[in-house]
Structure 1
Amino acid sequence: MKAKLLIVDDHELIRKGFRLLLEGLPDLEITAEARDGSEAVLLAARHQPDVVLMDLSMPDGLDGFVASQKIMMEQKSVKIIVLTMHDEEVYVKRALQLHIHGYLLKNSQAGEVYEAIRAVLRGERYYRTRIPEEQLSRIMKGEETESVLTLREQEIVRLTALGFTNVQIAGQLTISPKTVENHKANIMQKLHLKDKHDLIKYAIKNKFIELL
């Protein structure tokens, strides 16, 4: 049986490029392409892909991290492979925190993308970046380090630091503005912060703001 793929990127040329690289392989079937995170969530629900190749930085709709969270929440068996130009440690850490299955740079060769797809389908984790192997190993070993904030609270901190209002955050995360307010109150209490200015300083210090 062929593995079904969904390709997500805001640049049509990049989507077409990966399609050309992969569509000739006998055990893969590209079922759909999405131009942003919001469309990716909809198409993932419709096509039920086995693997999603996910861009991170998409200016319209949901970004790759939020879209990945939504897709994985709705489809427990789906595998997400990030395809990005970002190889900074903060991005890799975030992907690990979200239990994303694979992480590749966009300039990866077709063979490596195919290898990553086969690996995640076998239940393995496949991360390849320009970060030195020793440093990457250290990051991955620290994956289980728990934050005082839940993943949802971390996402709200990040979106707040990026300038989103409560209403906009609610739209991104598909929750009510009142729920966002409640989360923020819990965050402030957990971190012993007084106001939004302190929250933004916390986000910058802990590199939430870098996850654009």
Structure 2
Amino acid sequence: MKVLIVDDHDLIRKGIRLLLEGFPDVEVVGEASNGCDAITLALKHHPDVILLDLSMPTGLDGFTTAKTIMDELEDVKIIVLTMHDEEIYVQKAIRYNIHGYLLKNSQTNDLYEALQAVYGGKRFYRTHIPDEHLEKMFAEKEPKSPLTNREREIVRLTFLGYTNNQIANKLKISPKTVENHKTNIMQKLGIKEKHELIQYALKNHIADLV
């Protein structure tokens, strides 16, 4: 299991690495102190799991970093490792399809259990929120979108008013590819007009994923 550690505190990264090196089936492929470096290392090493801090004072925050990485690497699993135990953070993690949520004061065996769980395709949320309430939060989450991460990004940029050429430049693809994506999106959603696409973006909170 290849793991990338992302935290702006050097001592915390070194401590996590020391813990992980005690597990025979875990390989630490890199450390990053900010979101931009995390994205670069993720694209370079293709880790199986990323341990990601939410609060990084410089550059991208954890949620934006997670979304960017998952847009590019759909198989990667992300575990948020944070001091934030407030419900609003957990709700946002659920909405962003974060695979695991663990507090920094957790036990070593919790970290290993979380890694094994998400690597095996399961979710792992261990907070002070009661399990019953946590399950309700998952149940209330909007149904999984039929769109891929790339298609959702194109919908979001369309909602924000980007032209096909601007979307192509931003995503480093051709305008023709953007047109093809939009055609597929319309077919998947069973819609024909642009205003219906805008309504879909609003209803499914795609416009919020910035």
Task: Specify if TM > 0.5.
Answer: yes
Distance 2:123 2:36 in 1: 25
Unpaired stretches in structure 2, ≥5 consecutive residues: 145-151, 158-169, 172-197
1:13 to 11, 14, 17: 11
**CA offsets per residue over residues 69-93 of structure 1, 9 Å max, x none?**
1111111110000001111111111
Amino acid paired to 2:103: L
Distance 2:72 2:143 in 1: 25
Unpaired stretches in structure 1, ≥5 consecutive residues: 157-173, 176-185, 192-207
Q: Counterpart of 1:69? A: 67
TM-score (norm 2): 0.69
Q: Counterpart of 2:54? A: 56
Distance 1:81 1:28 in 2: 15
Distance 2:103 2:35 in 1: 18
List aligned pairs for 1:72-87, cutoff 5 A. 72-87=70-85
Amino acid paired to 1:115: E
Q: Counterpart of 1:136? A: 134
Q: Counterpart of 1:28? A: 26
Shift of 1:145: 6.2
Distance 1:100 1:63 in 2: 14
Q: How many residues align?
A: 160
List aligned pairs for 1:26-175, cutoff 5 A. 26-144=24-142
Shift of 1:24: 1.6
Distance 2:68 2:84 in 1: 21
Runs of 4+ in 1 over 3 A off after TM superposition: none
Q: Contact (CA 8 Å) 1:22, 1:110: kept in 2 or not? A: no
Distance 2:28 2:106 in 1: 18
Distance 1:30 1:20 in 2: 10
Amino acid paired to 2:55: S
Indicate the RMSD between aligned Cα atoms, in angstroms.
Answer: 2.8
